[in-house]
């Protein structure tokens, strides 16, 4: 039972991910919230009864593997290069 004020959301509530972190193991890729929900680095989780919870809405999940490219004197991630106005493939070694 949560002793926080205001109390943490129930594990079945839509805002369950807003509960406070009670146990954190970033080196293993998971944390357990006060309400018993286990969160994983991929934004998924497990409810206390063992059911899976999909990634949070709006969670950033990469659709492709980023690769580093060399642009004169600068290393940038290819995925972010386009947002900087660098044409695709520019600066590849």
Residue 43 and residue 14 share a domain: yes
Computed over its alpha carbons, how large is the radius of gyration of the chain?
19
Query: What pLDDT sits at residue 60?
Result: 52
Contacts of 32 (CB under 8 A, 6+ apart): 21, 22, 23, 24, 38, 39
| Boundaries of domain holding 87 | 62-93
Residue 79 and residue 38 share a domain: no
Mean pLDDT in each 10-residue stretch from start to end of the chain (93 residues)? 83 86 89 90 86 68 52 49 52 49
Q: How many domains does the chain have?
A: 2
Residue 25 and residue 43 share a domain: yes
Residue 71 and residue 51 share a domain: no
Query: What pLDDT sits at residue 19?
Result: 87
pTM of this structure: 0.55
Residue 68 and residue 45 share a domain: no
Query: What pLDDT sits at residue 41?
Result: 84
Residue 52 and residue 14 share a domain: yes
Query: What pLDDT sits at residue 79?
Result: 47
Q: Is 81 exposed, middle or buried (0-12, 13-18, 19+ CB in 10 A)?
A: buried
Residue 31 and residue 43 share a domain: yes
């Amino acid at each position: 039972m949560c002793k926080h004020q205001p109390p943490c959301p129930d594990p079945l509530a839509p805002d369950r991910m807003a509960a406070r972190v009670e146990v954190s193991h970033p080196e293993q890729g998971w944390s357990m919230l006060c309400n018993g929900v286990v969160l994983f680095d991929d934004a998924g989780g497990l409810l206390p009864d063992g059911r899976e919870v999909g990634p949070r809405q709006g969670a950033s999940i990469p659709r492709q593997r980023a690769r580093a490219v060399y642009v004169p004197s600068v290393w940038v991630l290819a995925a972010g290069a386009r947002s900087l106005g660098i044409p695709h493939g520019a600066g590849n070694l």
